[in-house]
């Protein structure tokens, strides 16, 4: 298991754990340069790991050896800005690979970019830069389980951009779906998380401020059609994920300190609220659960 956090000196670290005798044993801690460590991810083939820093806009790429330990492949620091007050400098927010575990994609909320790297190359330098609409603020990506498609959840414009993944790892823009206005009256709305169903038919997003979960159906690979939206039954839904059966969503409401179950109809993708919830302090991430 790999986790990000801060050490006793308050500096960013990656901790590596081994599961033995029904307990996690820490194997090693790796210091990470930069500030605002916010995301960690592993390629599907379990050969590489990447982390990104929001505040300083830098990333580090690692190889994973047979013992599960990390070997640094290099560091990358982005620069630039865009049009909103939150975009005065680079703010990397996500790292993730395509389904072939070759191309690594980083989102930069500060520069309105998706930055692409080739994992087969020895140096950690971009091979493509995909520019989004100024003010979009790309936050997270979701990769279609079967098709060469990637969905960018744009936090600042509350929108979803669909791209085709080309053979060389570059992205071709297909369509854009507006979720809701970024501000309604005095209420600030910020998209936070995106997930795609196992069958690739339905896309779900969370929006903080409005505190809602939206469900969409993918239509002919080119656009999203709204199915319905439901309340997150809490404040500030930071993340959510599917159950093993795909019949439920588990939603983490960070500010109301609760994790809520939302039911999902497999055929239609429609969502239904429930009364099932768990009190937990400031939940902000949900991984696979059974």
For the segment 130-139, the average pLDDT, to the nearest whole number, is 98
Rounded CA-CA distance 138/140 in Å is 6
138-143 and 237-242 strand pairing: unpaired
Rounded CA-CA distance 244/225 in Å is 25
Q: What is the pLDDT of residues 205-226, one digit of tens each?
A: 999 999 999 999 999 888 999 9
pLDDT at 42: 96
Rounded CA-CA distance 154/190 in Å is 9
pLDDT at 181: 85
pLDDT at 149: 97
Q: Which residues contact 78 (CB under 8 A, 6 or more apart)?
A: 57, 58, 59, 90, 92, 106, 108, 110, 111, 113, 115
Rounded CA-CA distance 9/4 in Å is 14
Q: Do 141 and 98 touch, CB atoms closer than 8 A?
A: no
The pTM of the full predicted model, rounded to 2 decimals, is: 0.96
Angle at 52 between CA 51 and CA 57, to 5 degrees: 155
pLDDT at 186: 82
Q: What is the DSSP letter of 257?
A: T
pLDDT at 255: 98
pLDDT at 289: 47
């Amino acid at each position: 298991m790999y986790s990000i956090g801060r050490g006793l000196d308050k500096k960013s670290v990656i901790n590596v754990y081994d599961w033995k005798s029904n307990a996690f044993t820490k194997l090693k801690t790796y210091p990470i340069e930069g500030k605002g460590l916010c995301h960690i991810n592993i390629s599907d083939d379990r050969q590489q790991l990447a982390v990104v820093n929001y505040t300083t806009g830098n990333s580090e790429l690692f190889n994973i050896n047979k013992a599960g330990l990390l070997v640094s492949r290099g560091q990358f620091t982005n620069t630039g800005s865009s049009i909103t007050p939150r975009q005065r400098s680079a703010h990397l927010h996500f790292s993730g690979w395509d389904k072939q575990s070759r191309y690594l994609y980083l989102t930069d909320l500060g520069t309105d970019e998706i930055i692409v790297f080739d994992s087969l190359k020895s140096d950690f330098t971009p091979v493509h830069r995909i520019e989004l609409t100024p003010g979009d603020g790309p936050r997270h990506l979701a990769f279609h389980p079967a098709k060469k498609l990637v969905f960018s959840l744009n936090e600042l414009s509350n929108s979803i951009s669909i791209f085709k993944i080309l053979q060389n790892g570059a992205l071709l823009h297909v369509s854009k779906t507006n979720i809701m206005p970024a501000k309604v009256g005095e209420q600030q709305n910020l998209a936070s998380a995106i997930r795609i169903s196992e069958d690739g038919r339905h896309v779900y997003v969370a929006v903080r401020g409005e505190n809602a979960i939206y469900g969409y159906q993918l239509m002919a690979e080119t656009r999203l059609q709204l199915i319905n939206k439901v309340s997150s039954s809490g404040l500030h839904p930071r993340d959510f994920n599917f159950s093993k059966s795909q019949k439920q969503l588990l939603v983490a409401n960070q500010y109301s300190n609760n994790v809520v179950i939302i039911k999902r109809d497999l055929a239609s993708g429609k969502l239904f609220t429930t009364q099932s919830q768990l009190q937990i302090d400031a939940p902000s991430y949900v991984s696979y659960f059974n």
